Amino acid sequence: MISRKPLRAIRSFVRREGRLTDAQQCALNEYWSNYGVDFQENAFDQNSLFKRRAPLIIDIGAGTGDSTLYQAIQFPKNNYLAIEVHRPGVGHLLNEIHKAQLTNIKVINHDVIPVLEKQITNRSISQFFIFFPDPWPKKRHHKRRLINAYLINLLKQKLTRHGRIHIATDWADYADHISEVFKQDNDLVNLAGQNNFSPRPNWRIETRYEKRGQRLSHEIYDFCFTLR
Ligand SMILES: C[S@@+](CC[C@H](N)C(=O)[O-])C[C@H]1O[C@@H](n2cnc3c(N)ncnc32)[C@H](O)[C@@H]1O
């Protein structure tokens, strides 16, 4: 009998650890207890984690966290949670958080799917950022793309009433895929209108993935979705 793996079982990343620099390793050793949040099967309490009540924004697949860090500095009234599987990126971000002495940013080093399933309370997130998710350009790898109906369903449950999902990609074919999967969801609305892209938000900094896309003459596609 042919067994088909459910969408959920296919991961959007491959754990290719790569070498940690001394600075990244040192940051993981020294600063994890201040800014890191271990994965656990129970939902965490935001107010006790950040020691205050504030809108919580999650950056999914934060990479080296440049975007999350910039946001946390620019918008000190918000709390930020960077979720990233790649340890060198997490080490880099921990160092930067420590240098800037920020108290409004925490980091989870884990696959975002179980984090959303287990660790995040429903109706508690005011914005999600998914900037330059891995495009998995080969057709046979499309099933690995992070943005699919399963993820969207989780995001929907976690968003606050007027919460927003911001997405950017430089892959035209991934942008089409994103439009399609969101179009099939009846609870979310594309703020730019169906099949349209949003203007590039001026608060989104250019990370190295956006710059790379520009070097390759790729167009950049922004989306913003909210609950109906
Ligand atoms: C192309 S990078 C973009 C990084 C960052 N958002 C930026 O714009 O610079 C995509 C990141 O998503 C991370 N990632 C992919 N799937 C993930 C998952 N399921 N959970 C957490 N992180 C994931 C990858 O490790 C990678 O660092």
For the domain that residue 208 is a member of, what is the CATH number? Answer: 3.40.50.150
Least Cα distance to 203 among 222, 225, 219, 189 occurs for 222
Residues of the domain holding 96: 57-227
Contacts of 17 (CB under 8 A, 6+ apart): 86, 87, 88
Q: How far is the CA of 96 from the centre of ligand 1 (A)?
A: 18
CA neighbor of 134 nearest in space, from 220, 19, 13, 17 = 13
- 3-class DSSP string for 195-226: CCCECCCCCCCCCHHHHHHHHCCCCCEEEEEE
* Cβ–Cβ under 8 Å, residues 132 and 218: no
Asked whether 154 lines ligand 1 (CB < 6 A), one says no
Tally of CB atoms within 10 A around 214: 13
pTM of the model: 0.95
Residue 33 included in any domain:
no
Residue of 134, 176, 185, 222 with catalytic role: 134
What is the distance between the alpha carbons of residues 134 and 166, in angstroms, rounded to a whole number?
15
Q: Is the CB of 68 under 6 A from ligand 1?
A: no
Helix (H) or strand (E) holding 177: helix 172-183
> Residue 52 domain-assigned?
no
Distance 84 CA to ligand 1 centre (A): 6
For residue 113, being part of any structural domain is answered with yes
pLDDT (tens place) for every residue of the chain, 228 residues total: 455 556 567 899 987 777 899 999 999 999 999 999 999 999 999 999 999 999 999 999 999 999 999 999 999 999 999 999 999 999 999 999 999 999 999 999 999 999 999 999 999 999 999 999 999 999 999 999 999 999 999 999 999 999 999 999 999 999 999 999 999 999 999 999 999 999 999 999 999 999 999 999 999 999 999 999
Q: Is residue 20 part of a domain?
A: no
Q: Is residue 191 part of a domain?
A: yes
Whether residue 44 is contained in a domain is answered as: no
| Residue 9 within any structural domain of the chain | no
Q: Is residue 219 part of a domain?
A: yes
Question: What's the structural domain count of the chain?
Answer: 1
**Residue 38 bears catalytic tag:** no
Residues 67-86 as b or e (16 or more Cβ within 10 Å = b):
bbbebbeeeeebbbbbbbbb
- For a substitution probing ligand 1, which of 7, 13, 130 has the most ligand atoms within 8 Å of its CB? 13
